[in-house]
Amino acid sequence: MQYQNKILLLSFAASVALSLIVVPILRKLKVGQIEREEGPQSHLKKQGTPTMGGIIMIIVLIVVGAFIYMDFAIDQQDVAKAMLPLIGVAVGFGLIGFADDFKKLFFKNTKGLSPKAKMLGLLIVAVAYTIVLTKVFNLGTEIYIPFLKEYFTLPIWIYIPFAVLVMLGTTNAINLTDGIDGLSTSVTTIIITCLTVISVLLGIKEVTAVGTILIGACLGFLLFNLHPAKVMMGDTGSLMLGGAIAGIALYLKMPLLLVIIAIIPIIETISVMVQVAYYKKTGNRIFKMAPIHHHFELSGWKENKIVSVFSLITLVFCIVGLLAI
């Protein structure tokens, strides 16, 4: 636990220090948020706020991860090697988000990568990670069933598309949650903390190390991301965090647990699906705006209230998730 605390403090300090350096650079480069015209009118004042801040968390993950890797490599080489795919999947998704943000910001449009190109990139990373887990690290295809507290083994030909679907769905859900200051960072920090606690209970050191680095990086970034945000994470951060959550859950053999602990991102996703389907069928809207955090925002809730309530809900469901294992 003492070693874990050191990792947390190191990654937190690195995140804060890097934010103090990177945010002014992003501002100087005029890498600013481009708000959608159809979005909430109150968000137009955020136009120009530095974005792509997720690069801060990616750098912290790589740099601090390298230090921890070298430390483990001395006498726990298996743990050190097992950290690599966990870091790799997060960075891989993050780089796709970076490419999307880069195209949005430097070509001054809100479309970014084409849906096909973005999906292809995410698919490649997801498939590669799944193959590494099953074929290189031989982790098997067991899936833990919450509450029943049993493992169910899937055939490999079912497990691979299932795992890929989990990763693509999770990254999309976290991406949709990133709509107001501090929301996605707060919610994902709690989810990653829950998964890290599980890894501590199970004694899976590589997940504990990577999870702790991510928690520290998120907490440091959150100081600059809370309302009024000085920097946005962009797709660089949301896809990285989504990839990290899905990657860790699959490594722990607990992707079904995400149905519980990632309840807010799931609700955000469902709200968009319901809104689109209902509008196409009737021409009317169920919510004032989707994802659902915008509905509450347009209903008069302040951004900080939405973040607080959604974070509290996530915390409660994470406790339920811990009781389910």
First to last CA, the chain: 21
| Rounded CA separation 126/283 (Å) | 36
pTM value is 0.95
- Residues 237-259 pLDDT 10s: 999 999 999 999 999 999 999 99
Element (H, E) at 214: helix 205-225
Q: Considering the chain, what is the average pLDDT of its residues?
A: 93
| Rounded CA separation 251/103 (Å) | 32
Lowest mean pLDDT, pick from 28-32, 51-55, 205-209, 288-292: 28-32
pLDDT of residue 37: 54
pLDDT of residue 3: 84
- Residues 256-315 pLDDT 10s: 999 999 999 999 999 999 999 999 999 999 999 999 999 999 999 999 999 999 999 999
User: How large is the average pLDDT for residues 67-86?
Assistant: 96
| Rounded CA separation 205/207 (Å) | 5
The yes-or-no verdict on residue 47 having pLDDT over 80 is: no
User: How large is the average pLDDT for residues 33-46?
Assistant: 55
